Structure 1
């Protein structure tokens, strides 16, 4: 078992690019994770990583070993998933990711409810507005807002969600109410942008009388956290493009005001992705069924 534990640490260190991150993912201190790597290198008689003060990368031997080690871990997890189907009480760890706003307000409150029903299943929730990779990040379930580009995974749709352009009354008093989508790209208006490292070019897709059109908007403020954009909008710093259910309380109170309602943003999809092989895992099926049903109710309320 210590050898297998060391292999798990090695795989996550390669995938996450650092001993600290790999250890943290497995709930180990950097010192323990480092010792596991040293034990593995001693057992194999080769150096698995090139180490500098700033970088950690697998050696040629490490890259070869990783390919085999990843298959071992995948096979082990798949076999455990199949065998757990014979148990009356599904157990194990589920690694789940969700966008920040949706994760905080919808997914996170449901996790304890799920755990009360299935106490032997441990949920490790990671929230981020950045794009994640199911395989590279070793995730079991990924919730998303948008249109996934990768069709190699199983998708469960939760809801189609309208988006809305909105701003605070103070912003509109100062800058005026935009009357056409073209006004968004003028110097008079500032759009609040969701950006993150390696994000694609930024634009908004709006529904116009001429069909769906792309507008290359810009602004003084961008962040990789959608809730930051909401707060900036509330403070009067610009126009935000938000999923409606996420800001409905502010629309109801008048803290945010919809604009360009005749040319709204393209609706977005709310759903979850998971690898096809995870269908064999009872805990994945239970979690998805539980969450999809309740997420639909939360979005509809």
Structure 2
């Protein structure tokens, strides 16, 4: 397996552009990653990367070898998947990402029951509201709220999530009850933004009589954690646009109140994304089927 391990490490170094990043991804030390690349170069009798103190760039031979290396890994994974399918005993690790709200409320609580049913599969869960690059980050599955842009990924729709614009009664008593997106902008309401490094210009897309329209709302606070925005809204600090499931209990209790009712937000899809080359992997397919059924049922109860 050592030669295959060397190839796997080479592929991750090539894709991530960093020896240390590839080492972290593969849960090995940078020294081991470097040694594997050196062994591969010695075996092939070529240089695969040009190394300097500040950068690491693939050579022409490295770029050629990468294409073949990917095919080798895909072939091995397909063979392993076939064996697992026959034995009905999926095993290995799954690297999964999810937005914070979805991950905390639905993914994380469901994982123990998945592990109980498939004890040989380990799940490595990463939660973040930032945009995820499935391939570059070595993920098998990513849950996503919205309309995915990457056409190179396969998508499994789980459900449609309604959304709501809302604020606390204390905020409304202080600033008034905005009835539309135009009023949010014109009266400079404090809109709380979900932002992260590299995020596009902040706008809310709301439905008007003339169809969807984007409003460039503004506010004093922003965060890359959606639950932080909810806490600020509950504290009377501003207006939020949230999936209904994240604020349903606060709406029922009256701690938050719908606003901008004349221009409601469009619903968003909750989907599961996975790479084309993973579609025959039984543990990936079983995980997606299991989580889709559990999450869809849980969301209907919100």
Q: Same fold (TM over 0.5)?
A: yes
Q: Deviations over 1:216-274 (max 9, x none)?
A: 22333333332232233233332111101012222233332221123210101112122
Q: Deviations over 1:82-109 (max 9, x none)?
A: 2221113111222222112111221111
Task: Assess if the C-alpha contact under 8 Å between 1:175 and 1:188 holds in 2.
Answer: no
Secondary structure in 2 matching 1:129: coil
**Residue 250 of structure 1 corresponds to which residue in structure 2?**
250
Q: CA deviation at 1:54?
A: 4.3
Task: Assess if the C-alpha contact under 8 Å between 1:15 and 1:137 holds in 2.
Answer: no
**Residue 217 of structure 1 corresponds to which residue in structure 2?**
217
**Residue 273 of structure 2 corresponds to which residue in structure 1?**
273
Task: Assess if the C-alpha contact under 8 Å between 2:180 and 2:262 holds in 1.
Answer: no
Residue 101 of structure 2 is aligned to residue 92 of structure 1: no
Cα distance change, pair 175–58 in 1 and its aligned pair in 2 (3 A)? farther
Query: How many residues get paired?
Result: 301
Task: Assess if the C-alpha contact under 8 Å between 2:233 and 2:239 holds in 1.
Answer: yes
Secondary structure in 1 matching 2:86: coil
**Residue 263 of structure 1 corresponds to which residue in structure 2?**
263
1:104-123 superposed matches below 5 A: 104-123=104-123
**Residue 234 of structure 2 corresponds to which residue in structure 1?**
234
For 1:134 and 1:118, locate their aligned partners in 2 and report how far apart those are by CA, in whole Å. 24
What's the TM-score, normalizing by structure 2?
Answer: 0.89
Bigger shift: 31-40 or 238-247? 31-40
Give the ranges of 4+ consecutive aligned residues of structure 1 lying more than 6 Å apart after TM superposition. none
Q: CA deviation at 1:123?
A: 1.6
Task: Assess if the C-alpha contact under 8 Å between 2:155 and 2:271 holds in 1.
Answer: yes
Q: CA deviation at 1:119?
A: 0.6
Task: Assess if the C-alpha contact under 8 Å between 2:25 and 2:137 holds in 1.
Answer: no
What's the TM-score, normalizing by structure 1?
Answer: 0.90
**Residue 170 of structure 2 corresponds to which residue in structure 1?**
170
Q: Deviations over 1:135-190 (max 9, x none)?
A: 34333222111112344443322211110112233333332221321122236312
For 1:232 and 1:31, locate their aligned partners in 2 and report how far apart those are by CA, in whole Å. 45
**Residue 140 of structure 2 corresponds to which residue in structure 1?**
140
Gaps of 5+ in 2: none
1:1-301 superposed matches below 5 A: 1-186=1-186, 188-301=188-301
Secondary structure in 2 matching 1:97: strand
Secondary structure in 2 matching 1:170: helix
Gaps of 5+ in 1: none
